[in-house]
Amino acid sequence: MPMELTQSRIQKIWLPNDNRPALPRRSCGPQLANSPTVIVMVGLPARGKTYISKKLTRYLNWIGVPTKVFNVGEYRREAVKHYSSYDFFRPDNEEAMKVRRQCALAALRDVKLYLTEEAGQIAVFDATNTTRERRGMILNFAKENGFKVFFIESVCNDPTVVASNVREVKLSSPDYRDCNSTDAMEDFMKRINCYQASYQPLDPDDYDRELSLIKVIDVGRRFLVNRVQDHIQSRIVYYLMNIHVQPRTIYLCRHGESEFNLKGKIGGDSGLSNRGKKFARALNKFVEEQNLKDLKVWTSQLKRTIQTAEALQLPYEQWKALNEIDAGVCEEMTYEEIREQHPEEFALRDQDKYYYRYPSGESYQDLVQRLEPVIMELERQENVLVICHQAVMRCLLAYFLDKSADEMPYLKCPLHTVLKLTPVAYGCRVESISLNIEAVNTHRDRPEEGKKGPNPLMRRNSVTPLASPEPTKKPRINSFEEHVAVSSALPGCVPQEVPSQLPGQNMNTSQKLS
């Protein structure tokens, strides 16, 4: 019986010595997604579908599930260069309907490619998908490819919410580049009406009762959840139930400079240096000036963050989950000492800093997993100041800024600097506020030879944040003006035939539309 194990050097994971055809072994707990999943958005325009798609994708990538958004609107804009008016979306505009269908098919082809060849786990199909016919087509497509399907329908009948959504994200859309906002608003409202006529909401009582779905009603006031199939769907549901769209601000900073920082030691549980204490007072002043309603303050359970929070004269909560990365045998050592005493470990960490686990300590990957409940709770909260540590702050920041596992361990989070994060439209605005108290620099740049692409291994089924990939900029669809396959311009995307099983794959739509 094979009982001999070897420990992998970077991740410190025990593996059997023999290289038997590997039984799948995962390093990070539950199976996140066993067969690829297509998440299909459903809803009228301006119901926050794109917002949900992007946000969910960012979250899934951060927890390590490779996910990508396929926004059919972008395919459409690519196919039809000049949007003239809502006329295009009228249900009786047959030519346009054909184009739109082609766009959907092209996007589905890319979904297939992503899930079968590019190691994607989840594809988010971001389109209105308001008709049963369209959803039936997607279901067929998924069935043929063995993909699971999960529908997310956003239902909102509050006109003020819809209007504010249109104002916030639609008026700046490329469709309305040369248009004043009143006209754009009016056109967009008509566009919504075009869909309204043929909209068939998901019907969990009858027609759609076998489908796995969540209906998000009135921006999260109510949810209907049907037939959740697996771990990842249950995680998605939980996430969607916790996010909100209230305006708020998140402040991230590290503790004030510590005694160990001064000596260049990592880890440990030392107190603040004199400059660190100065920072704590400056932070107090800063927080007062921000004049925030109901600010929550979170710290780790280490002395240096708690000392920092104590200066604020505010209630605060201690999270053990926010403690600094556990450096195991290297705790309380300087980098120099580590280099001397554990030269091999030191080199390994530079090789792959995200995966590297300190002997009997943690890796950034471990940290992301530990911080997931913090992110979930941050999503639920409003104004929060998180006083944490360098590695922890990097992980949190990577979530908000959608950074990959490769970049994360090198994000710059200097001491005595507050990052102010404000959600805007589909993303997050960052302001970096230095409180002008000197401190040592604790940042170690990526060594030159380490500047390489992310480890291609372990992408599947790992807790490895990936930056959400850009939506395919140039979809593989013929431009209707030119009738030329532009797809070949896409690196790594071989032009493919439309899957024959898909109905209506007639690419021969060379009519001019505009």
Partner 1 sequence: MFYLKQRLPLAAPARSVNTWASYMTNSPTLIVMIGLPARGKTYVSKKLTRYLNWIGVPTKVFNLGVYRREAVKSYKSYDFFRHDNKEAMEIRKRCALVALQDVKAYLLEECGQIAVFDATNTTRERRDLILSFAKENAFKVFFVESVCDDPEVIAANILEVKVSSPDYPERNRENVMDDFLKRIECYKVTYQPLDPDAYDKDLSFIKVINVGQRFLVNRVQDYIQSKIVYYLMNIHVQPRTIYLCRHGESEYNLVGKIGGDSGLSPRGKQFAQALKKFIEEQEIVDLKVWTSQLKRTIQTAESLGVMYEQWKILNEIDAGVCEEMTYGEIEVKYPDEFALRDQEKYLYRYPGGESYQDLVQRLEPVIMELERQGNVLVISHQAVMRCLLAYFLDKSADELPYLRCPLHTILKLTPVAYGCKVETITLNVEAVNTHRDKPCLNSNTLPAGHSPVRMRRNSFMPRASADTVKRPWHYSVGSKPLDLVGAFPSLEARDGADQQQLQVEAQVVPSLCFPCPPSPAVSVVLTGMQPVPRVFVSV
Which stretches of the chain bind partner 1, using CB under 8 A? 1-3, 5, 7, 12-14, 16, 23-31, 204, 221-228, 231, 234, 237-238, 241-242, 269, 301-303, 306, 310, 314-321, 331, 360, 366, 369, 377, 380
Beta strands at 148-155 and 37-42: parallel, antiparallel or unpaired: parallel
Burial label for 318, CB within 10 Å (0-12, 13-18, 19+), is: middle
- The residue behind tokens 């590019």 is 118
Nearer to partner 1, 28 or 137 (CB): 28
Catalytic annotation present for 324: yes
**Hey, what amino acid is at 173?**
S
The smaller minimum CB distance to partner 1, of residues 17 and 198, is found at 17
- Give me the sign of the Cα torsion angle 163, 167, 170, 171: positive
Nearer to partner 1, 14 or 426 (CB): 14
Q: Return d(Cα 268, Cα 415) in angstroms, integer.
A: 17
Helix (H, G, I), strand (E, B) or coil at 325: coil
Per-residue three-class SS string for 189-242: HHHHHHHHCCCCCCCCCCCCCCCCEEEEECCCCEEEEECCCCHHHHHHHHHHHH
User: Rounded to the nearest whole angstrom, what is the least distance from the CB of residue 230 to partner 1 in the complex?
Assistant: 8
Q: Is 223 annotated as a binding-site member?
A: no
Q: How far is CA 436 from the centre of its chain?
A: 32
In the complex with partner 1, the residue whose CB is nearer, 233 or 487, is: 233
**Residue 16 or 427 having the CB closest to partner 1:** 16
Q: How far is the CB of 2 from partner 1 (least distance, A)?
A: 6
**275 labelled as ligand-binding?**
no
**Can you list the alpha helix ranges (DSSP code H) found in 381-453?**
390-401
Pair of tokens at residue 140? 């067929």
Q: Is 346 annotated as a binding residue?
A: no
Q: Which is nearer to partner 1, 82 or 227 (CB)?
A: 227
453 belongs to an annotated ligand binding site: no
Shortest distance, position 203 Cβ to partner 1, whole Å: 12
Contacts of 512 by beta carbon, 8 Å cutoff, 6+ apart: 480, 481
Pick between residue 156 and residue 467 the one whose CB is nearest to partner 1: 156
In sequence order, the 6+-apart residues with CB closer than 8 A to the CB of 274 are none
The C-alpha atoms of residue 306 and residue 324 are separated, in whole angstroms, by 13
- 427 labelled binding-site residue: no
Minimum separation from the CB atom of position 404 to partner 1 (A): 22
Q: Which of 74, 78, 255, 342 is catalytic?
A: 255
Least distance in angstroms from the C-beta of 386 to partner 1:
13
Residue 379 labeled ligand binder? no
Report residue 259 as tokens.
Answer: 């005694």
What's the first-to-final CA gap in the chain, in angstroms?
Answer: 71
Q: Annotation-wise, does 258 bind a ligand?
A: yes
- Residue 300 Cβ vs partner 1, minimum distance, rounded to whole Å: 10
Separation in Å, CA 289 to CA 154, 275, 306, 311, 501: 38, 21, 21, 15, 62
Catalytic residue list contains 337: no
Q: CB–CB of 400/424 below 8 Å? A: no
Q: How far is CA 435 from the centre of its chain?
A: 30
Q: Which of 74, 324, 345, 362 is catalytic?
A: 324
Residue 441 CB, nearest approach to partner 1 (Å): 26
Q: Please give the annotated binding residues for substrate, written as ranges.
A: 254-261, 304
Annotated binding site: 254-261, 304
What are the residue numbers of the active site? 255, 324
